[in-house]
Amino acid sequence: MTLEILTPDNTVYQGEVVSVTVPGTMGSFEVLKDHAPIISTLEDGKVIIRTGAKAEEIFFITGGAVEVLNNKIIVLAEGVIQK
């Protein structure tokens, strides 16, 4: 599964992931392989990226949207702070 985190300025993250947790407007949710297609707005909060073998990266986003389609996840964030 591939993930891209984009801001108006640049590409913050691009790579293969096992799962991603995003701060949806109605609550956080996790995206795993073969997730149903979805488009959702995002609140300020943590994007937790898991790349396997307990490897984890956390970014703090300030709003945006996410699209999941055919095992490709695109997070369009207004701003990003890596933690």
Domains of the chain: 2-82 (2.60.15.10)
Cα(11)–Cα(72) distance, integer angstroms: 15
Residue bearing tokens 């890596």:
82
Q: Nearest Cα to 59, choosing from 74, 48, 68?
A: 48
Q: Nearest Cα to 42, choosing from 27, 53, 57?
A: 27
Cα(29)–Cα(48) distance, integer angstroms: 10
Give yes or no for a contact between 80 and 36, defined as CB atoms under 8 angstroms apart: no
6-55 per-position pLDDT tens digit: 999 999 999 999 999 999 999 999 999 999 999 999 999 999 999 987 78
49-81 per-position pLDDT tens digit: 999 877 899 999 999 999 999 999 999 999 998
